[in-house]
Amino acid sequence: MPAAYWKLSSFYFFYFASIGAFMPYWGLYLNEQGFSAGQIGELMAIVLATKIIAPNVWGWVADHTGRRTLVIRIAAALAMLCFSGLLFYSGYWWIAVVMALFSFFWNAALPQFEATTMNHLGKSTHAYSRIRLWGSIGFVLSVGSLGAVFERVDVAVLPWIVLVLLGFMWLSTLQVRDGQAPVHESAPVSLWSTLSSPAVILLLVACFLMQASHGPYYAFFTLYLELHGYTRTMAGYLWALGVLAEVGVFLMMHRWLPRFGAWPLLAVAMFVTMVRWALLPLFVDSLPIIILVQLMHAASYGLYHAAAISLVHQFFVGRQQGRGQALYSSLSFGMGGAIGALISGYVWDGMGPAWVYVMASVMAGLGCLAALAGRRFPRSTSPRHVPM
């Protein structure tokens, strides 16, 4: 499906290009607006916290109307409109309201697009990573170039840059159509039955802890590097390096998933992440170690996300697909990321920057234990599940 491949890939490219412009430099932008670390953590938490509610609301709408791509287009358009509010004022409460509205729609689009992509792939879901890698490429190009840009241009232009990328993201949604959802001959399993499965519970707990450990990374990594003498250009390159490593993993996941299984790969990803965050405060002044830390992003995101998406797609079937993707997004990237970012801001102010990443390492380690436990339980009662 070459035509569908490029249409699907273009959305991932621009969606993650907007993240590459926004997330790594948002803390820098807020810092230059005069906000404290605690306030930065709060504002970052708002962006992440809307993932708790928004994906579930929009997932319910998409599943019940069957108009998934229409939901994606509306969410993308309203995200762009709301974000433009940053062009008019930069007070704390104004930014808080704008970010809440913007992220309510922005965070709704991706989970539904993930379900659309899986429906287009049909039985070839292991090929997901080859489409998703274009999101990583978009992120790399965005974050890698903007580090150098902000050495020469005031970071106050960041809202304009993000707004342009959001515009291209919306345009890309106009090219995509709903995929054919798989038909299941067996009687459908209730959502509550799926959620009560110990394996599903442990999967969601593991994903929550994994993304909570990333809260300090997304909120403060650029500031942490600047604190230790790294330039913004170097910070941008280090962000880009991490995602380039992630691309390499996405290229291999269509082989690794059938061979090793999703649960073992998920546990490995979380163990590597635990080590990654532990290395960061110990060796932040050593560029070779920081390069190694960023290469570990191949596991922290690439390996983790591909394995987690595979498990979510197996557990949540039929008309549960949209809500399954929404729950994964809201509990991990939403609740987990928001709590991680919020706590890290207070820890940064109260105990010091290094302790932020000690906390992150502990959370990733607990997530690894949850993933190892999840593998030991029987799979969900969904009729589609087969032994892996």
**pLDDT range class, residue 191, cuts 50, 70, 90:** low
Q: What is the pLDDT of residue 164?
A: 95
In this structure, is the dihedral angle defined by the CA atoms of residues 302, 305, 308 and 310, taken in order, positive or negative?
negative
Fold classification of 2-177+188-374 (topology level):
Growth Hormone; Chain: A; (1.20.1250)
Q: What is the pLDDT of residue 202?
A: 92
Neighbours of 229 (CB within 10 A): 9
Q: To which residue do tokens 């299984």 refer?
A: 261
Comparing 85-99, 139-153, 173-187, 279-293, which segment has the lowest mean pLDDT? 173-187
Q: C-alpha dihedral over 143, 147, 152, 154, to 10 degrees?
A: 70
pTM equals 0.71
**pLDDT range class, residue 386, cuts 50, 70, 90:** very low
Instruction: Over range 219-243, report the average pLDDT.
Output: 89
Instruction: Over range 25-42, report the average pLDDT.
Output: 86
Q: Which amino acid is at 235?
A: A
Residue 301 has pLDDT above 90, yes or no: no
Residue 92 has pLDDT above 50, yes or no: yes
Alpha-carbon distance 37 to 312, whole Å?
Answer: 35
Alpha-carbon distance 72 to 354, whole Å?
Answer: 39
User: Which of 205, 227, 212 is closest to 342 using CA atoms?
Assistant: 212
Ordered alpha helix ranges (H), 319-352: 321-328, 337-350
Domain locations in the chain as residue ranges: 2-177+188-374
Query: Encoding tokens for residue 165?
Result: 């990328």
Alpha-carbon distance 298 to 281, whole Å?
Answer: 19
Name every residue whose Cβ is closer than 8 Å to that of residue 81 and which is 6 or more positions away in sequence: none
Q: What is the pLDDT of residue 284?
A: 92
Give 261's Cβ-side CA count (13 Å radius): 11
Residue 165 has pLDDT above 80, yes or no: yes
Residue 360 has pLDDT above 90, yes or no: yes
Alpha-carbon distance 226 to 78, whole Å?
Answer: 34
Q: Is-contact 318 188, C-beta < 8 A?
A: yes
Alpha-carbon distance 128 to 300, whole Å?
Answer: 18
Alpha-carbon distance 328 to 318, whole Å?
Answer: 16
Q: To which residue do tokens 């965005």 refer?
A: 142
Instruction: Over range 217-228, report the average pLDDT.
Output: 89
Q: C-alpha dihedral over 53, 168, 137, 52, to 10 degrees?
A: 0
Name every residue whose Cβ is closer than 8 Å to that of residue 144 and which is 6 or more positions away in sequence: 236, 237, 239, 240
CA distances from 9 to 13, 117, 142, 251 (A): 6, 9, 16, 14
Query: Encoding tokens for residue 230?
Result: 């790294």
User: Which of 316, 312, 300 is closest to 374 using CA atoms?
Assistant: 312
Alpha-carbon distance 161 to 177, whole Å?
Answer: 28
- 3-state class (DSSP) for residue 114: helix
Q: For the chain, give the mean pLDDT.
A: 83
Alpha-carbon distance 139 to 294, whole Å?
Answer: 14
Q: To which residue do tokens 């919306």 refer?
A: 170
- 3-state class (DSSP) for residue 63: helix
